[in-house]
Amino acid sequence: ARVLPRKGQDTVIKALPAVLAEFPDTYYMIVGDGRYAQNFKELAESTGVSERVVFTGGVGHADVIDYFDLSDAFIMPNRYWNNKIEGLPNVLLEASARGKPVIAGNHGGSVEAVEDGVTGFLVDPESVSAVSEAVLKLLRDPVLACEMGEKGRARVSGRHTMKGMIENYASAIRGAVENRGAARDA
């Protein structure tokens, strides 16, 4: 995993004071590394939350699964940055597959991965208050968080299997071939 402004880790760090005011034992774990990690460590320090933000550094894929299992939720309020956006972030599907409710940015591929209010929350990635409120909803209602995680797991296992992806590709190819034939006949 990479630490990048596009992934919104800075917004989560800025949202932590509001979360910690109500749930002071909360930790935010940033899994991954990159050239922006130091900037985010400094942001955590200046925001007064450095004791509650854990930077794991780079980890292998097997370890990422362990970190999912340690967490109560997965948060990545991804946003447009440097003219780039996340397509369909696999990490959102992976978190859902591990039964975690997901908080993600409300655009791009995230809207395909997260069903707002059902498997998690889609938030304005620039809104610190939207991120903190989404986190607080999950912390205030562990039953809701668990239900969202289970619905996310069911959704991923039903839609994002190898068989399902092959069927989607086959359907897309058939549609393209049919459209090409129709255009030629016109």
pLDDT attached to residue 145: 98
Q: Please determine, for residue 18, whether its predicted confidence score (pLDDT) is greater than 90.
A: yes
In degrees, rounded to 5, the angle at the alpha carbon of residue 103 between the alpha carbons of residues 157 and 10 is 135
Domain boundaries, the chain: 5-157
Look at residue 144 and tell me whether its pLDDT is greater than 90: yes
Nearest-angstrom CA–CA distance, 86 and 174 = 27
Q: pTM score, two decimals?
A: 0.84
Architecture in CATH for domain 5-157: 3-Layer(aba) Sandwich (3.40)
Tens of pLDDT, residues 52-110: 999 999 988 888 889 999 999 999 999 876 666 667 788 999 999 999 999 999 988 89
DSSP strand pairing (120-123 vs 102-105)? parallel
CB 158 within 8 A of CB 164: yes
* Residue 83, pLDDT score: 65
Q: Quote the pLDDT of residue 20.
A: 99
pLDDT at position 109 is: 86
pLDDT at 41 over 90: yes
| 15-24, 136-145, 175-184, range with the lowest pLDDT | 175-184
Inform me whether the pLDDT recorded for 33 exceeds 80: yes
By percentage, how much of the chain surpasses pLDDT 70? 90
Mean residue pLDDT of the chain comes to 90
